[in-house]
Amino acid sequence: MPTNTITPDQDFDWESLERSCPKYRRKNKIFNTNDIVYDTDPQKQQQYLDLIESTEALVKPVANSIVEGIVTDVNSRYVSMDIGWRESAILDINKELPEYRDNFVVGATMEVILKVVDLKSNNGCITASYTEVVKHLKHREIHSSIGKRMAYPATVKELIHGGYFLDIDGVEVFMPGSLGGVNKLINFDKLLGKEIYVVPINYAKDKDYIVVSHRDYLQSLIPDALEDLNPGDGKTGFITGTTKFGIFCEFDKCLTGLIHKSDLDGETQEAFNDRSLKPGDEIEFVVKEVTRDSRIILTQKEYIPEIDPWDNIDHYVIPSQVQGTIRKKTKYGMFIELEPKVVGLLHISDIPDYIDLAATKEGDLITVDLIKIDIESKKIFFKI
């Protein structure tokens, strides 16, 4: 019975194959693939080089790495993406957040994180997630904003001993209960399910979570809230605490003011006296005054607008001789009051020697020359 004899293909360039082997290249110190001759035909040689260049450009996929891919196919359950490897990456649509599903269209370019990379099996398997990479990038963004006073909207998900877990675009963060309000919280359940703004303030490395504060956000609102606050404004708030001299109240989310016991109405005064007022009780009041150091004074009694004498200060003639009351003596002069809240300085250098300073006392009337009024700084200057 005749047998078929297998003979080497005489047209095959065995020398080129040998030269392409890594062992041959190391032995002959050939490091540049362009120096290897795969075929004597220039066109085929270039094809060989192009093929090798394309394979060398491949980056082996690694689990938990973030790569860029192009959506090549979408069906009711899965998304296929070209990530520059021989196998496509597969995303399970059911495992992606609903708000991201409209992003999966053929031709779309997006970053994904590789969850499982199995390159050993015959079929190969690469699974990826878009939601996870969005969460990863958001976590990195939030972490980098610590100390930068940047606020994020967050949903309060869970109340635990000591604080809350919140969600910021899929990233779980922690907020201590003491940072849940501008004052101490009265009802901790009140925040559950709400969306609030928080500021990242720290990173708990031992527990691997970012610490945030709602209080820091509220405190940042105070300057603008004070600008919008005017004496006579009626407000509704709640009691945060009581002292022997009055009641502290929180209102407009971030502001806290004091109602002195002398400014309480009859019903509240009675409750104050018998100590039945409790933190969290709702209360109505009127803004009485905002002091220069930003303290807010409130009242429950009829608000009578206080007339600022500086609004009519232009009725004084400069220069002119006026009579005032010595309100305070100091080593550098005397403070003279023309009328309530209109006080000026008579400097020691402007007092002649014939005036016996030792004979003057606080409360005495004195005649002085009015020489200057600075309306902007509310200062008045005298001389004799």
- Residue type (1 letter), 375: I
pLDDT at 145: 95
What's this model's pTM, rounded to 2 decimal places?
0.61
pLDDT at 34: 54
User: Which residues does the chain have with pLDDT short of 50?
Assistant: 1, 31
Q: What is the DSSP string of 49-113?
A: HHHHHHHHT-----TT-EEEEEEEEE-SSEEEEE-SSSSPEEEEGGGS-GGGGGG--TT-EEEEE
Do the domains spanning 66-135 and 145-219 agree at the CATH topology level? Answer: yes
Whether CATH 2.40.50.140 fits 66-135: yes
Digit-coded pLDDT (tens) for 66-93: 999 999 999 999 999 999 888 899 999 9
> What 3-state DSSP class applies to 31?
coil
Distances (CA, A) of 72 to 92, 94, 125, 127, 229: 14, 18, 16, 15, 58
The CA distance from 183 to 161, in Å, is 19
Digit-coded pLDDT (tens) for 139-165: 999 999 998 989 999 999 999 988 999
Domain range list for the chain: 14-56, 66-135, 145-219, 229-299, 309-383
When the candidates are 2.40.50.140, 3.40.630.30, 3.40.640.10, 3.40.30.10, the CATH number that belongs to 229-299 is: 2.40.50.140
When the candidates are 3.40.50.2000, 2.40.50.140, 1.10.150.120, 2.40.420.20, the CATH number that belongs to 145-219 is: 2.40.50.140
Digit-coded pLDDT (tens) for 23-41: 555 566 554 555 566 666 7
Please tell me the CATH code under which domain 309-383 is placed.
2.40.50.140
